[in-house]
Structure 1
Amino acid sequence: MACGGGNQQVQTTSETVQNSTKNQVVETIMSRRSIRQYKPQAVEREKIQTIVECGINAPNAMNRQPWEIRVVDNPNYINGVTELYKKANPKAASDSTFRNMFRNAPTVVFIGHDTKSESSPFDCGLLAENMMISAWSMGIGSCCLGSPARFMKSPEAAEYLKKLNFSEGYELLYCIGFGYPDEVPTAKPREADKIQFIE
């Protein structure tokens, strides 16, 4: 199965994919992998625009749309906050492949959520999935990131968090790294026995 214009082969053992090769949506979902090594170039802004528009078209409770999205592809921002991260976490940066705290992604999307909305974490999860699946369909990898978001909310990174300019009442929930894959991860086993049909 090819993804990314035929230049990337992704192997899967899923019978679902084998039986659904004519369904592009199913094929994309089943072939997607989290990417943690990227080529250095940022994702073109017109492609990111499409990706985030797919995100905001996710289902959400009562159409409240309790999210805000901030796209960062400025190397000065990414490298600047990474330097602070390295000081706070020297062991994490000791890996020879480490380039930035966002799993080396050249484009990062930060998701803020409305803290007054109980459904906002779930709604933002749906937003993320739409973005990651649409990105994969265009040959763009992604990785949903929790620990960088936690660091962004630390006192050390306060200046960078402020630059994201989230509205009052909104708080950074997580971020997603996007970029062109520089690795081809294999599928990890899934526990299909956790699925039950109840009669």
Structure 2
Amino acid sequence: MKLNTILAGICLIMAVSCGQPKKENSMNNQVIENIMARRSIRQFKAEPVDRETLTEIMKCGINAPNGQNKQSWEVRIVDNPQLLAEISEAIGLAHPGNDFAKTCFRGAPVMVFIARDLSYDFSAYDCGLMAQNIMLSAWSLGVGSICLGSPVRFLTDNELCRPYLEKLNFSDGYELALCVGLGYADEDPEAKPRDMGKVAFVEWLAN
């Protein structure tokens, strides 16, 4: 009887201890390590990213925090090299004086197009949060990424590009907000300096 009581006590202690989240040192925290290690990639290998991996990344994307759980986004993924080449060519022809236009996808073999719901004031923020989840989860799976705004401008400001925008088939009331390029990195960029001087704690005394 005494032995059973002791064993029950040990099991209870183990159950309680396992249920409590442990505070990890930031240097050993995988989430923090992933955030600090992520880089924007501008040179990609031609190697495709399989759809199983892309699906896993997008599951993380749609689990981003968002206002009132409205999930005020729509996403279209283009991993067809021929279609991406056609879109790039159309953008280049539509903007002949802009050398960057034709290469605005940075050679990424996958482009994620994210549109926002125009009926919701905070949908742009939701889409940004989703993009961050996409990029961080991609990095954790060995896939590089880059967040892009220029393709949005190039696709929406010229009639020559409109057919390709229509091919994305977003619902009425949605507007292309940003793009994320995905692929295996063909470079290893160094971290760029960040300014913690722009962060400050605010303290004041109550009257």
With normalisation by structure 2, the TM-score equals 0.81
Match of 1:69 in 2: 75
- Return the letter of the residue paired with 2:119: K
- Aligned counterparts of 1:72 and 1:190: Cα–Cα separation in 2: 32
List gaps (5 residues or longer) in structure 2: 1-24
- Return the letter of the residue paired with 1:126: L
- Per-residue Cα deviation, 1:56-84 (whole angstroms, up to 9, x for no partner): 00111111000001000011210001111
Match of 2:138 in 1: 135
- Return the letter of the residue paired with 1:45: R
- Return the letter of the residue paired with 2:197: D
- Aligned counterparts of 2:104 and 2:201: Cα–Cα separation in 1: 41
Q: Tell me, yes or no, if the aligned pair for 1:78 and 1:100 is still in contact at 8 Å.
A: no
- Work out which of the two has the higher radius of gyration on C-alpha atoms and give 1 or 2: 2
- Aligned counterparts of 2:163 and 2:149: Cα–Cα separation in 1: 19
Q: Number of aligned residue pairs: give it.
A: 178
List gaps (5 residues or longer) in structure 1: 1-18
Q: Tell me, yes or no, if the aligned pair for 1:29 and 1:133 is still in contact at 8 Å.
A: yes
For residue 188 of structure 2, the aligned residue among 179, 184, 189 is: 184
With normalisation by structure 1, the TM-score equals 0.85
- Aligned counterparts of 1:20 and 1:92: Cα–Cα separation in 2: 44
Instruction: Name the Cα RMSD after superposition.
Output: 1.7
Greater relative contact order, per chain length (Cα 8 Å cut-off, separation 6+):
1
For residue 171 of structure 1, the aligned residue among 157, 175, 178 is: 175
- Aligned counterparts of 1:49 and 1:99: Cα–Cα separation in 2: 28
Q: Tell me, yes or no, if the aligned pair for 1:77 and 1:160 is still in contact at 8 Å.
A: no
Deviation at residue 20 of structure 1 after TM alignment: 2.3
- Aligned counterparts of 1:157 and 1:82: Cα–Cα separation in 2: 10
Residue 54 to residue 174, structure 1, CA distance change in 2 (3 Å) = same
For residue 86 of structure 2, the aligned residue among 68, 80, 83 is: 80
Partner SS state of residue 26, structure 2: coil
Match of 1:6 in 2: none
Identity of aligned residues (%): 52
- Per-residue Cα deviation, 1:124-171 (whole angstroms, up to 9, x for no partner): 111000000000011111111111111111311111111101001111
Match of 2:114 in 1: 111
Q: Tell me, yes or no, if the aligned pair for 2:91 and 2:102 is still in contact at 8 Å.
A: no
Alignment of 1:56 onto 2:59: no
- Aligned counterparts of 1:51 and 1:197: Cα–Cα separation in 2: 34
- Aligned counterparts of 1:181 and 1:91: Cα–Cα separation in 2: 29
- Aligned counterparts of 2:99 and 2:139: Cα–Cα separation in 1: 27
Deviation at residue 41 of structure 1 after TM alignment: 1.6
Match of 1:126 in 2: 129
- Per-residue Cα deviation, 1:25-64 (whole angstroms, up to 9, x for no partner): 0000011110000000221111111111101001111110
